[in-house]
Structure formats: structure tokens, C-alpha cells
Structure 1
Amino acid sequence: MSDDTSKRGAAPPSLEGAAWLHRPETARVFAALGGKGGETRAVGGAVRDALLGLPVADVDFATTIVPDKVMARARKAGLKAIPTGLVHGTVTVVADGTSFEVTTLRRDVETFGRHATVAFTEDWAEDARRRDFTLNALYAGADGAVFDPLGGYQDLISGRVRFIGDAAMRIREDYLRILRFFRFNAFYGKGRFDADGLKACARERAGLRLLSAERVASELKRLLVAPRAAEAMSVSFDHGLLCDILGGVPRLARFDRLIGIELALGCDPNAVLRLAALAVFVPGDAKRIARRFKLSNAEQALLALGGEPFDHVLPDEAAAKRKLYALGPERYASRVLLAWADSAAPATDPAWHRAATLAERWEVPDFPLRGPDIMALGDFSGPQIGEMLRRVEQHWIDGGFTQDRDELLALAEAMAKSSA
């Protein structure tokens, strides 16, 4: 199959002026692997995102040069070469401190999930056909010319996420592609999800159980913060996938409300907070999900906020200040967002908006007294000192944090005399 795309719709534009193509480290890799006896192109995400005008971070390369010669050419050019995946034809080339994956064109002879037997090729279309989605089977040369052997550009600009070839076969090669199908739809899709892809994902969903917790968690976190995450979750639920992924019933309405609130506030989404809104009903759910996805203790603590009952004292300003003082800015912001999502208030509610942005207007004060202040008032034991500080602090909190140090010392002294 040729690289000619004239029969597949609009031909992709050149990326000649793309800044990432002209970064010194990228140019050094192209130069090292260019010339006679081989051809090298950038592939996948860098090309896809550049065509959409999105920022490009990581750049991967595909080449007709076999791995041992890739390493030899890289080292001859003064670059570091690491044989990270020779069995699959992948070498990591390091230029100016930046790592690039360089993979020799290949075709899969046999596949066993992620473990495939491959044969190298010089046919770009053959290499493209073993990839996951058409919009990822895009290549760009050092001159910016884009090669599109499978019509992926037309799918990209149409917002259609389409498996290459037989969708079920692509999924069986790596069951993580089920989650990737939903993530790519959530990031790049427009309109309805591809029907054939959905059917294949639903039929092959049992394969998700074969994946490691870490791989599922990583993919799920990326999906949760995608622009169309709410729609992706709803579609995955309708097709019987989401309950299998989460190990329980989702709270789709609360998840949708949280996303709407985040958009109204203009705040960046947090994947774990969104997971709390989606999957946590009671505190025990947080522990179960943390175990399921091998999350950190900090992530479990954030998840647990999703199981707390709706706090009816919010969004009252005085109550909000007490919450902010008790929880600190980060936990407070998360708790308010979840409480807001639990309430019936719309995303435009002014009182909830004030509560959510309280930390921007009000600096949390420091409690003016310390242990030595109480010790100076009499001969008290450690527990007595702690109890007296707690009572004075609570009085200060209930009073709206308005009393100064002298007033609080007078209160502590009165307490000390009454307990003598």
C-alpha cells in the first residue's frame, strides 16, 4: 500500500514549520538516522497532536533501520543508545538529555496480548496496519511531510476514533486498548463513538481482568480528566464496561455535576477527585478502589472524601471558614467541590462559588496560643494543657477567629483559675 492519500479524502498538511521538528535534540536524532540505507519518521502522538495544533511533548520515531544498526548510528553521532526493547525492535536514543523511542518497522507474526512475535519490514503501510487506531498511524519526515497510509488524517479531523482492521483482533493484542478507545474518544472524538469499536470493546471486556492494576489505573486517570470524560463514562456504562472497570456501580450524575462545577470555576481537573465523585459511595469504597488500582495513601485519603455525607453547613461563609481552617486549602477545595456536586445547587450558584473560592480571598489565621502559654498559668499536666488549648481554640473558631492573643490568654487564665 502506498503513502498516497488522494483517494482517502483530504491530504494532511505539511508540518514543516512545527517547532518540535526543529528542536536541536529532535534534529540530532533525524540526522543520526537519516541518509542512505534507511528512512526515519516521527510517528503517532507527536504527529497527531501537531496536526491538531496541540502542544507536542514526547516524540517517537519509526525507522526502516534494524535495531543494531540504529544503535550503531546513534552512537556514531555521539548519542546514547539503550536496547530497551530489542525483541520488539525498540531502542531508546538519548539526545541532549531527552529520550526518544525508536522502533524498527514491523509486522506482528503472532500475538499473545502484549507479547508478540514480530518480523521487521520496510513497508510503512504494513507497520501502520499493526497499530491501534487510524489517527495514530500517522508519520512525519524531518522535512515535515506527513505520510498517511491508512487515511488516519481524515478520521482525525472528523473526530472519529477507529480501530485499524478488525477491532476485536486489535483489542486481543492488548486489552488496554479498550480503555484507550474510550480515552481517545474523550480527547479527540466528535459525535458518536464508532459502532464497530464499541461492539468489539463490549464483547472483549473480560480481557480487562488480565491487565495489571497499574496499567489500568494509569489509563483510567488519563481518561477521567479528558474533555469528554462524562460522555465516555456514560457510553462505557451503557455498554456494560464501566462496572467491570470500577468493580462497582458508578455515580454518573455526581460525576457529571462535578465536571460542570469545575468548568464553571475554570479549575483544572483532578483525576483522583473525579474518581471519588464517580465511584465512592461510602468510606469503604475508597479502600476497595485504592487496593484495586494500587493507589497511594494520599490518593486513598482524597478518595475517602467522596464517601463523606453531604455537609449541610456549606456553603455558609462562617461554616466554610471553619472547614478551611480544619482541612487546609487543598482538602478544603476538594471537599467543597464534592459537597457542591452532592447538593442540588447548579454550577452557577453564587453562594457555592464563594465557598469554593474562599481560600483566594481569606488567609487562614494561625492560632495565637501554644503549649508554653498554658504552662505559664500553672502546674498542669500534658493532657490538661492539651485539653485547655483545645477548648480555647474551639472558642476562637466559634467566634469567627476574631479574638486576639491577649483576649485568648485572658480566657485561658480564667479557665486555669476555675480548674484550680
Structure 2
Amino acid sequence: MTDARVLDAPWLRSGPAARVLALLNCDGEEARVVGGAVRNALLGIPIGDIDIATTALPTEVVRRAKAASIKSVPTGIDHGTVTLVLEGHPFEVTTLRLDTETFGRKAKVEFGRDWVGDAHRRDFTMNALSVSADGIIHDYVGGLADIAARRVRFIGDPAQRIAEDYLRILRFFRIHAAFGHGEPDRDGYLACIAARAGLATLSAERVRMEMLKLVVTDGAVGAITAMTDGGLLTSILGGVVYLGPFAAMIEAERQSALPPHPIRRLAALAVAVTEDARRLGTRLKLSNAETKALDSMGHRWWRFASADEARARRLLYRLGEANYRDRLLLGWARAGRDRSDPRWCDLALLPQRFTPPKFPLKAADFIARGIAEGPLLGHVLTLAEDAWLAADFPLDEPRLHAIADQAAARIHRDGRS
């Protein structure tokens, strides 16, 4: 049944989205904005991509775009999706369809003109709303009521929806964490638990995408807790789940005025040692940079528990700002009863008040002191750098000369030159 409610959104009246709708809303065809953009607009939160559904076949969408000098990209044309790029904004335009057979991402589809049928093939009621160019909201599955209640609910039988694509288990918790309120819908939750073995059939790339989105949502703690209670996370992460440190990491980010960071939160959730980081990197097919960041966080994070500011300054120099911040926050999140110690916040804010200088001594300083080029030169530079750090980064010439002299003398004394 269609609700008479009207969405007052400026992007429906003018701009690139309105132009795409006008392009497709003529000569017997109809187009509407669907999915997340409608949901977010109704919730009063920023919208991301604007997706459009249409009765026009993909070839007709391409033809009209070409006639209007709009770039079209056949991003999923076998499934009816063409991306139109207008004024630098991409719009996924998908022909109405029915999934006649479903098996993960490889559904067999038939194109049609049935807006009700198209809505019923989607995952959750709040994602199945559509809005026409005049702002009229079309609701065939009770999505408006669920948005008002902040309730994430599967369309129809949850078990059937999940069997069509097991990624919907993760999407259920992510969408609830982002837009829901209170406990997850009971029927949906129980269906996810019953179907959890299906998570093993998903590609690591798809699981990674959903998990990294989930952990940075406002309701991540509640959703992650529900997933853990339902026995869902162990098969995904392949190890121990640390709920306390995960919640503590979110609080540490807040106190440090840092934005949510998915890899940092994943580390708090599942990384205690570097072996955990490498396991996650493999299981979720994380990028090399993501795995390296996890590995760095898992490496002796506990050293920060006893670090004073002088030692923290040295760690900041050694690790660099990003790795220092992430490893320190992991130590803070895992500090147990000591998390409330104000020292943690002071150390987290250290990069704002201290920028480590560059090591001022060079190879030429030691060659002038009789150290030959080669391995010993590298060794003496390391000795001098360690002494410079221990002396708290002096930059005055007398102290630098003394450090260089002492390092060179040690090499000569050991008979290595």
C-alpha cells in the first residue's frame, strides 16, 4: 500500500538527481529514488549515494543518457544496473526486476514494471521505500512504520531472505547498528543465528566490507554484543572476541577527539598479539596496509601501561604519529581497571603538543671521527641515535658533539674500526 506522505528534499527539485529522474520519467517510463537515500532523508541524516529504479530497460537508459550527453557505465548491466555520471555524481540506475532464482550475488533476474514486486525482493523494510520525483513516498512493506520505530526488519520470511544471500546476516546487524534502536528484531535475530553456518559460504572480501562498516556505526557495541551472544563472530574472526576492549576503544577515541577508525576498532575487538593480526589479515583479506596497521598495534602495546611522557616521546619518534596513536589507544582499551587513569588521555594527545625532531647527526659526523664507511658506520649511527633519544632529543651543538664523540669512542674502544 502506498503512503501519502511527501518527502521534502531539495535534491528532488533541482540538481543532478532531479535531472536524471526527469530524463527517465517520460515516454511511458517511470523512475524513482530507492533505498538508502530515502531512508536517510526520512531519518534526517546525511545521504550518500542516490540510487534510482526505473521501468526502462537498461538499453533504453543508455540510449537516453547518450542523447542527453550524460556518461553511462554498464556497471551491472546483466542485472539491470547502469551508472550515470552527471556533474561528477554517480547514480546507479537499475531496471525493476524479480529475482527468479537466488544464489548469493548471482541471482537470475527478469526485468519488469512491478514496483510492488521490486520492493518485496529487497532485504529490509526500511530499505524498500521509494520516492517519485514529486516527493510522494511509496511504501509497500511497512517501511515507514519501521523507520518511525527505528526497527530493522526483514521483508517477509527472514529465513528465506537470508537463504537468498547469507551476507544479509551481517547487513542485519550493520543496518540495526546504524539506524536501529534497542534490541534487534527478535524474528530476524533468531533467523540469523539459525543460518549462521551460511557465513562460511561468503567471500572474505564481502565479509570484510560489512565488518569494517559495522564496527564504526553508532550502535556497534550493541550489535557486536548481540552477534557474540548468538555465536556469529567466532566463525568470522576465528579467535577470541574482546567485547570490553572494543567498547573501551570507542570511548578512548571519543576522549581523544578522534573519528571512528575501522582497523583500530577491529584491533580492539580481536587483536591481542601480532599473530591475531596476521590471522585476521588472511581471514578477511585485508589490504597490506590494513594488515600492517593491525600488526603494529598488536606489537607490545602493553609497553604503554608503564610509559611516562619521556618514554612516550621516544615511542612517538620510533613509531610515527599514526602507529603511535593506534598502538597507544589499543593499550588504553586493554588497560582494564586502569583505563580511567588521566595519563592515558595525556599520552594520546602527545602528538598535538610535541613533534619529534629529526635525528641531527649524519654519517659525515662519524667519518670525520675516523669511522670508515660500511657496516660500522651504520652501527655507530644507531648507537648515537639511541643516546640522543635517551638524552631527550637535544639539539645544541655541545651535547650533539658529546654524543657523537662517545659513540665513536665506543666503536674505537671495541676495536671495530
Structures share fold, TM-score greater than 0.5: yes
- For 2:358, the equivalent position in structure 1 comes to 366
Using the alignment, how far apart are the partners of 1:327 and 1:314 within structure 2?
17
- For 2:313, the equivalent position in structure 1 comes to 321
Instruction: Tell me if structure 2 keeps the 8 A contact 1:264–1:348.
Output: no
- SS at 1:54's partner residue? coil
Instruction: Tell me if structure 2 keeps the 8 A contact 1:392–1:408.
Output: no
Q: Does the C-alpha gap of structure 1 residues 313 and 150 become closer, same or farther in structure 2, counting only changes over 3 Å?
A: closer
- For 1:393, the equivalent position in structure 2 comes to 385
Equivalent position to 2:187, from 176, 179, 196: 196
- SS at 2:358's partner residue? coil
Instruction: Tell me if structure 1 keeps the 8 A contact 2:297–2:323.
Output: no
Q: Does the C-alpha gap of structure 1 residues 354 and 312 become closer, same or farther in structure 2, counting only changes over 3 Å?
A: closer
Q: Deviations over 1:3-24 (max 9, x none)?
A: 1x3xxxxx64x333x2433453
Mean alpha-carbon deviation: is it higher for 101-110 or for 310-319? 310-319
**1:357 alignment partner AA:** L
Gaps (5+ residues) in structure 1?
6-10
- SS at 1:218's partner residue? helix
Mean alpha-carbon deviation: is it higher for 43-52 or for 338-347? 338-347
- For 1:132, the equivalent position in structure 2 comes to 123
- For 1:406, the equivalent position in structure 2 comes to 398
- For 1:243, the equivalent position in structure 2 comes to 234
Instruction: Tell me if structure 2 keeps the 8 A contact 1:277–1:306.
Output: no
**2:405 alignment partner AA:** E
**1:51 alignment partner AA:** L
**2:137 alignment partner AA:** V
Q: Does the C-alpha gap of structure 1 residues 23 and 389 become closer, same or farther in structure 2, counting only changes over 3 Å?
A: farther
Q: Does the C-alpha gap of structure 1 residues 273 and 417 become closer, same or farther in structure 2, counting only changes over 3 Å?
A: closer
**2:195 alignment partner AA:** E
- SS at 1:157's partner residue? helix
Instruction: Tell me if structure 2 keeps the 8 A contact 1:25–1:95.
Output: yes
**1:377 alignment partner AA:** R
Using the alignment, how far apart are the partners of 2:112 and 2:357 within structure 1?
67
- For 1:67, the equivalent position in structure 2 comes to 58
Q: Deviations over 1:376-400 (max 9, x none)?
A: 1224242222222222221221122
Deviation at 1:406, TM superposition (A): 3.3
Q: Does the C-alpha gap of structure 1 residues 297 and 110 become closer, same or farther in structure 2, counting only changes over 3 Å?
A: closer
Q: Percent identity?
A: 48
1:3-402 equivalences in 2 (<5 Å): 3=2, 5=3, 12=5, 14-16=6-8, 18-22=9-13, 24-309=15-300, 310-312=302-304, 314-345=306-337, 348-402=340-394
Using the alignment, how far apart are the partners of 2:374 and 2:243 within structure 1?
49
- SS at 1:233's partner residue? helix
Using the alignment, how far apart are the partners of 2:75 and 2:281 within structure 1?
31
Aligned residues: 411
Instruction: Tell me if structure 1 keeps the 8 A contact 2:96–2:118.
Output: yes
**2:207 alignment partner AA:** V
Using the alignment, how far apart are the partners of 1:379 and 1:193 within structure 2?
69
Q: Deviations over 1:164-188 (max 9, x none)?
A: 0011111111111110001001101
- SS at 1:367's partner residue? coil
Using the alignment, how far apart are the partners of 1:27 and 1:371 within structure 2?
64
Q: Does the C-alpha gap of structure 1 residues 39 and 318 become closer, same or farther in structure 2, counting only changes over 3 Å?
A: same
Q: Deviations over 1:71-127 (max 9, x none)?
A: 222222222333333332222222233321111222222222222222333222211
Q: Deviations over 1:126-156 (max 9, x none)?
A: 1111000000011112222222222212211
Gaps (5+ residues) in structure 2?
none
Using the alignment, how far apart are the partners of 1:344 and 1:208 within structure 2?
32
Using the alignment, how far apart are the partners of 1:214 and 1:293 within structure 2?
6
- For 1:8, the equivalent position in structure 2 comes to none
Using the alignment, how far apart are the partners of 1:204 and 1:211 within structure 2?
13
- SS at 1:269's partner residue? coil
Q: Does the C-alpha gap of structure 1 residues 200 and 382 become closer, same or farther in structure 2, counting only changes over 3 Å?
A: same
Deviation at 1:282, TM superposition (A): 2.2
Deviation at 1:30, TM superposition (A): 1.1
**1:220 alignment partner AA:** M
Mean alpha-carbon deviation: is it higher for 57-66 or for 230-239? 57-66
Q: Does the C-alpha gap of structure 1 residues 252 and 24 become closer, same or farther in structure 2, counting only changes over 3 Å?
A: same
